[in-house]
Structure 1
Amino acid sequence: MSKITFLGAGSTVFAKNVLGDCMLTPALQEFELALFDIDDQRLKDSENMLINLKASMGSSVQVKAYTNRKEALRGAKYVINAIQVGGYKPSTVIDFEIPKKYGLRQTIGDTIGIGGIFRSLRTIPVMLDFAKDIKEVCPDAMFLNYTNPMATLTGAMLRYGGVKTVGLCHSVQACVPELFKSLDMDSNNVQWKVAGINHLAWLLEITRDGKDLYPEIKKRAIEKQKEKHDDMVRFELMQRFGYYVTESSEHNAEYHPYFIKKNYPELIDKYNIPLDEYPHRCVSQIEEWEKTREDIVNNQNLTHERTHEYASYIIEAMETDVPFKINGNVLNNGGLISNLPTKAVVEVPCLVDRSGITPCYVGELPEQLAALDRTNINTQLLTIEAAMTGKREHIYQAAMLDPHTAAELSMEDIVLLCDDLIEAHGEWLPTFYKESVLK
Structure 2
Amino acid sequence: MSSTKIVVIGAGSLQFGLGTCGSIFNSDILEGAHVSLLDINADNLELAREACQAKIDHDNLNFTLESTTKREEALRGADFVINSIEVGPRFYWWNLDMKIPWKYGSSQVYGENGGPGGMFHSFRIVPPILDICEDINRLCPYAVFINYSNPMSRILLAIERAYPNLKVVGLCHEIDFAEDLLPRILKIPFDKMDLWCGGLNHMGSIIKARHKDTDKDLIPEIRRRGVKFLNRWRWSLTSRLARPVDLTIYILENFGFMPYTTDSHYGEYIGWAREVANLRGIKNFYSVYRKYLWFKGFQIRYNLRRKKGHKAVKPDDERAIPIIEGILSDSNHHELSVNLPNDGIISNLPQDSIVECPAVVNRSGVHGIELGEYPEPLVDLLREEVGVQDSVVEAILNKSRDYAVQALQADPNFPRKHLINAFLDEMLELQKEWVTLA
Tell me whether the two structures share a fold, i.e. TM-score over 0.5: yes
Matched, 1:426 2:432: yes
Matched, 1:330 2:333: no
Partner of 2:410 in structure 1?
401
Partner of 2:155 in structure 1?
153
Distance 1:201 1:223, change over 3 A: closer
State the alpha-carbon separation in 1 of the partners of residues 125 and 96 from structure 2: 15
Distance 1:17 1:181, change over 3 A: farther
Identical-residue share of aligned pairs (%): 29
Distance 1:423 1:33, change over 3 A: same
**Which moves more between the two structures, 349-358 or 382-391?**
349-358
Q: Which amino acid aligns with 2:354?
A: V
SS in 1 for 2:161: helix
**Which moves more between the two structures, 32-41 or 283-292?**
283-292
**Which moves more between the two structures, 65-74 or 274-283?**
274-283
Partner of 2:223 in structure 1?
218
Q: Which amino acid aligns with 1:331?
A: P
Counterpart pick for 1:233 among 240, 244, 247: 247
Matched, 1:355 2:359: no
Q: Which amino acid aligns with 2:382?
A: D
- 1:352-391 mapped onto 2 (5 Å cutoff): 352-391=361-400
State the alpha-carbon separation in 1 of the partners of residues 5 and 13 from structure 2: 19
CA contact (8 A) 1:10 1:37 kept: yes
Structure 1: state its 5+ residue gaps: 262-266
CA contact (8 A) 2:327 2:363 kept: yes
Matched, 1:346 2:365: no
| Deviation, structure 1 residue 268 | 5.6
SS in 2 for 1:165: strand
- 1:141-290 mapped onto 2 (5 Å cutoff): 141-161=143-163, 162-172=165-175, 174-180=176-182, 183=185, 185-188=187-190, 189-208=192-211, 209=213, 210-224=215-229, 228=235, 229-230=242-243, 231-261=245-275, 267=276, 273-275=281-283, 277-278=285-286, 281-282=289-290, 284-286=292-294, 288-290=296-298
Which deviations, in whole Å up to 9, do the C-alpha atoms of 1:203-252 show, x marking residues without a partner?
11222232223333333333246554422221211111110112222212
State the alpha-carbon separation in 2 of the partners of residues 277 and 225 from structure 1: 17
Distance 1:66 1:372, change over 3 A: same
CA contact (8 A) 2:34 2:63 kept: yes
State the alpha-carbon separation in 1 of the partners of residues 277 and 304 from structure 2: 37
Partner of 1:264 in structure 2?
none
State the alpha-carbon separation in 1 of the partners of residues 153 and 31 from structure 2: 32
**Which moves more between the two structures, 180-189 or 355-364?**
180-189
Distance 1:105 1:370, change over 3 A: closer
SS in 2 for 1:362: coil
Distance 1:401 1:289, change over 3 A: same
Counterpart pick for 2:82 among 80, 83, 91: 80
State the alpha-carbon separation in 2 of the partners of residues 51 and 125 from structure 1: 32
State the alpha-carbon separation in 2 of the partners of residues 6 and 21 from structure 1: 12
Distance 1:56 1:220, change over 3 A: farther
State the alpha-carbon separation in 2 of the partners of residues 79 and 244 from structure 1: 33
Which deviations, in whole Å up to 9, do the C-alpha atoms of 1:150-175 show, x marking residues without a partner?
11101111221242211111122x13
Distance 1:226 1:134, change over 3 A: closer
RMSD: 2.4
Q: Which amino acid aligns with 1:244?
A: M
State the alpha-carbon separation in 2 of the partners of residues 40 and 366 from structure 1: 48
State the alpha-carbon separation in 2 of the partners of residues 36 and 115 from structure 1: 28
CA contact (8 A) 1:7 1:82 kept: yes
State the alpha-carbon separation in 1 of the partners of residues 107 and 70 from structure 2: 39
State the alpha-carbon separation in 1 of the partners of residues 321 and 420 from structure 2: 42
Partner of 2:12 in structure 1?
10
**Which moves more between the two structures, 360-369 or 175-184?**
175-184
Distance 1:78 1:13, change over 3 A: same
Aligned pairs, how many?
421
State the alpha-carbon separation in 2 of the partners of residues 211 and 58 from structure 1: 49
SS in 2 for 1:134: helix
Partner of 1:413 in structure 2?
419
Distance 1:103 1:57, change over 3 A: farther
State the alpha-carbon separation in 1 of the partners of residues 426 and 144 from structure 2: 37
State the alpha-carbon separation in 2 of the partners of residues 426 and 276 from structure 1: 30
State the alpha-carbon separation in 1 of the partners of residues 172 and 277 from structure 2: 27
CA contact (8 A) 1:82 1:145 kept: yes
Moved over 6 A (4+): none
Counterpart pick for 1:130 among 129, 132, 139: 132
Distance 1:226 1:3, change over 3 A: closer
- What is the TM-score with the length of structure 1 in the denominator? 0.89
Which deviations, in whole Å up to 9, do the C-alpha atoms of 1:16-59 show, x marking residues without a partner?
22221111111111111101111111111111222223334443
Which deviations, in whole Å up to 9, do the C-alpha atoms of 1:110-141 show, x marking residues without a partner?
22112211111112211111112112211111
| Deviation, structure 1 residue 312 | 0.7
State the alpha-carbon separation in 2 of the partners of residues 186 and 199 from structure 1: 25
Q: Which amino acid aligns with 2:26?
A: L
CA contact (8 A) 1:93 1:279 kept: no
Distance 1:217 1:367, change over 3 A: closer
CA contact (8 A) 1:56 1:302 kept: no
| Deviation, structure 1 residue 72 | 0.7
| Deviation, structure 1 residue 190 | 1.8
Q: Which amino acid aligns with 2:401?
A: R
CA contact (8 A) 1:107 1:275 kept: no
State the alpha-carbon separation in 1 of the partners of residues 299 and 4 from structure 2: 36
Structure 2: state its 5+ residue gaps: 236-241
Which deviations, in whole Å up to 9, do the C-alpha atoms of 1:361-401 show, x marking residues without a partner?
22111122221111111111111010011110211221232
Q: Which amino acid aligns with 1:214?
A: I
CA contact (8 A) 1:24 1:306 kept: yes
SS in 2 for 1:254: helix
